[in-house]
C-alpha cells in the first residue's frame, strides 16, 4: 500500500469527510457498494436540495473520495476506496502503529493505542 505523504492531501480529505452531510453522503455511497448510486438516488435517500447535494458531491470529488461516471442522463457516483484506504493508512502512520504497519519514522515511535 502506498503511504500518503502529503499532509495537505490528507487534510483535504479529512475536511471533505468532516461535515455531517458529506460524511452521510459518503457513507451512503460506501453502502451502495460496487454498482454505485445515481445523484438522484442519493438525493432521494437523503432529502437534500439538488444544488446542495451537487455542491457536496463536488467537494468529495475534488478530494478524490468519490468517482463519477456518466450513464446516459444520469451520473453514477461511487466511493473511491483507494483514497479512503490511503487516508486511513496516513492516520495509522501518524498515530496508531498497530492498525497498519509502516516504515519506522526518524522520530520516536508513537505509543501503542488502547
Partner DNA sequence: ACTGTATTTCCAGAAATATCGAAATAACGA
Partner DNA sequence: TCGTTATTTCGATATTTCTGGAAATACAGT
Residues that bind DNA (CB under 7 A): 15, 19, 21-22, 38-41, 43, 48-59, 68, 70, 72-75
Sign of CA dihedral 100, 31, 35, 29: negative
109 binds, among DNA, a second copy, none (CB under 5 to 8 A by kind): a second copy
Q: Which helix (H) or strand (E) holds 84?
A: helix 81-94
Q: Which helix (H) or strand (E) holds 77?
A: strand 74-79
Dihedral angle over CA of 24, 11, 93, 110, nearest 10: -110
User: What is the closest distance, in whole angstroms, from the C-beta atom of residue 12 to DNA in the complex?
Assistant: 9
Residue 75 grid coordinates? 451520473
Q: How many residues sit close enough to a second copy to count as binding (CB under 8 A)?
A: 45
Q: What are the residues binding a second copy (CB under 8 A)?
A: 1, 7-8, 10-20, 23-24, 26-27, 30-31, 33-34, 79, 81-82, 84-85, 87-88, 91-92, 94-96, 99-100, 105, 107-114
Amino acid at each position: 500500500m502506498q503511504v500518503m505523504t502529503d499532509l495537505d492531501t490528507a487534510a483535504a480529505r479529512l475536511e471533505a469527510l468532516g461535515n455531517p452531510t458529506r460524511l452521510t453522503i459518503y457513507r451512503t455511497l460506501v453502502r451502495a457498494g460496487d454498482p454505485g448510486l445515481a445523484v438522484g438516488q442519493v438525493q432521494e435517500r437523503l432529502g437534500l436540495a439538488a444544488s446542495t447535494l451537487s455542491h457536496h458531491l463536488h467537494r468529495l470529488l475534488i478530494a478524490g473520495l468519490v468517482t463519477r461516471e456518466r450513464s446516459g442522463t444520469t451520473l453514477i457516483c461511487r466511493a473511491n476506496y483507494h483514497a479512503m484506504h490511503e487516508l486511513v493508512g496516513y492516520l495509522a502512520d501518524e498515530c496508531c502503529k498497530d492498525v497498519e504497519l509502516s516504515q519506522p519514522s526518524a522520530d520516536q515511535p508513537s505509543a501503542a493505542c488502547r
